[in-house]
Amino acid sequence: MNGSSIIELEDATWGQQVEDSNKPVVVMFYSPTCPYCKAMEPYFQEYAREYEGSAVFARMNIEMNPWTAERYGVQGTPTFKFFCHGRPVWEQVGQIYPSILKNAVRDMVQYGEECIRKSTPIGQDITGYV
């Protein structure tokens, strides 16, 4: 993204950039016409710069990448999801106070390894479809 520390994700790059990451990953699911996404963007960029060495920050356009958005139950934008070793561990939907997002990022970076020990892997073959 124009020299920023935020990666633009796509369905095809999700596995490599999120699931295989050794660092915690903060993803902002957005849509181009979402005014709340635009309002949160400067804060997201600020935190991406501040925590650049400790976490990966990424954005995903849900209109261009519906498969991943559906897979993780994204139903509104912006949706912020934190991933630890590819597993979702925290979520917040909508425009929120920037301090809430910043505190969540700080906590995830600080307790990153602990989050993996406190989560249970679910096989990829489990799905809601019959």
Helix (H) / strand (E) element for 38: namely helix 35-50
Q: Is the pLDDT of residue 3 over 60?
A: no
* 59 vs 89, residue with greater confidence: 59
Element spanning 59, H or E: strand 56-61
User: Of 37, 104, 108, 115, which residue is the catalytic one?
Assistant: 37
Instruction: Give mean pLDDT, residues 62-82.
Output: 95
Pairing of strands 56-61, 25-30: parallel
37 is catalytic: yes
First to last CA, the chain: 39
Residue that the structure tokens 């989050």 belong to:
115
Residue 74 to residue 35: CA distance in whole angstroms? 17
For 77-124, the pLDDT digits (tens) are 999 999 988 888 889 999 889 999 999 999 888 876 666 666 565 555
Residue 74 is predicted with a pLDDT of 95
Evaluate whether residue 56 is within a structural domain: yes
* Percent of the chain predicted with pLDDT > 90: 63
* 3-class DSSP state of 42: helix
* pTM (2 d.p.): 0.84
- Give the mean pLDDT of 27-34: 96
Catalytic residue among 26, 34, 105, 115: 34
- CATH code (residue 44): 3.40.30.10
Looking at the domain assignment, is residue 86 inside a domain?
A: yes
Distance, in Å, from the CA atom of 24 to the CA atom of 36, rounded to the nearest integer, reads 24
Higher pLDDT: 64 or 114? It is 64
H/E stretch holding 88:
strand 87-93
29: in domain: yes
**Domain-located, residue 2:** no
pLDDT value at residue 56: 94
99 in a domain, yes or no? yes
pLDDT tens column, 9-23: 999 999 999 999 988
CA distance 99 to 85: 25
Q: Is residue 71 part of a domain?
A: yes
pLDDT of residue 2: 45
User: Please, is 22 exposed, middle or buried when counting C-beta atoms within 10 Å of its C-beta (0-12, 13-18, 19+)?
Assistant: exposed
Is 84 annotated as catalytic?
no
Range of the domain at 70: 7-118
Over residues 45-59, the mean pLDDT reads 93
- What's the total number of domains in the chain? 1
Q: Is residue 59 part of a domain?
A: yes
Task: Indicate whether 125 belongs to any domain.
Answer: no
Cα gap 29→37, rounded to integer Å:
9
